[in-house]
């Protein structure tokens, strides 16, 4: 019985850590903090962004995010729809609403969508994003 209790506690702790990762993700986007966002990725992550080719590795993701935040202010709201686990992998299904405002004379655009984060337990027991797929529902 005690072993089952330990497993339940670990699973609960893991899920809390993953939900915190999702909150840190949202905070990084709202603040436009590229380094904060990159700190949430595992080594050699793969990003499958909306309307762009696959982006592999932190260096490439850094370049993409820097160019994005250079031109836009992005504000959003996200909600974890589902999160589950299996071994050292977890996933987070997230829905979001974003407002993207050009920094130079432009009209804000609002969109809604969903993301699938696959996170992997690291050697220090933390959880980091290994794969991220983004899919928009279109402009709101």
CATH topology of domain 2-139: Nuclear Transport Factor 2; Chain: A, (3.10.450)
Q: How far apart are CA 124 and CA 10, in angstroms?
A: 15
Residue 15 banded pLDDT, cuts 50, 70, 90: confident
| pLDDT at position 6 | 67
Q: What is the pLDDT of residues 70-99, one digit of tens each?
A: 999 999 888 889 888 788 899 999 999 999
For the whole model, what pTM was predicted? 0.87
Sequence ranges of the domains in the chain: 2-139
The DSSP symbol for 57 reads S
| pLDDT at position 59 | 97
Q: What is the pLDDT of residues 23-48, one digit of tens each?
A: 899 899 999 999 999 999 999 999 99
Cα dist. 121→57, 96, 98, 128 in Å? 18, 24, 28, 7
């Amino acid at each position: 019985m005690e072993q089952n209790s330990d497993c339940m506690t670990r699973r609960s702790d893991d899920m809390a850590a993953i939900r915190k990762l999702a909150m840190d993700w949202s905070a990084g986007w709202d603040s436009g903090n590229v380094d904060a966002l990159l700190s949430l990725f595992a080594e050699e992550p793969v990003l499958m962004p909306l309307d762009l080719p696959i982006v592999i590795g932190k260096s490439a993701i850094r370049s993409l995010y820097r160019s994005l935040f250079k031109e836009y202010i992005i504000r959003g709201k996200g909600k974890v729809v589902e999160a589950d686990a299996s071994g050292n992998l977890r996933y987070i299904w997230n829905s979001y609403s974003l407002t993207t405002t050009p920094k130079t004379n432009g009209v804000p655009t609002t969109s809604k969508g969903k993301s699938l984060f696959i996170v992997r337990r690291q050697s220090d027991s933390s959880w980091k994003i290994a794969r991220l797929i983004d899919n928009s529902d279109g402009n709101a």
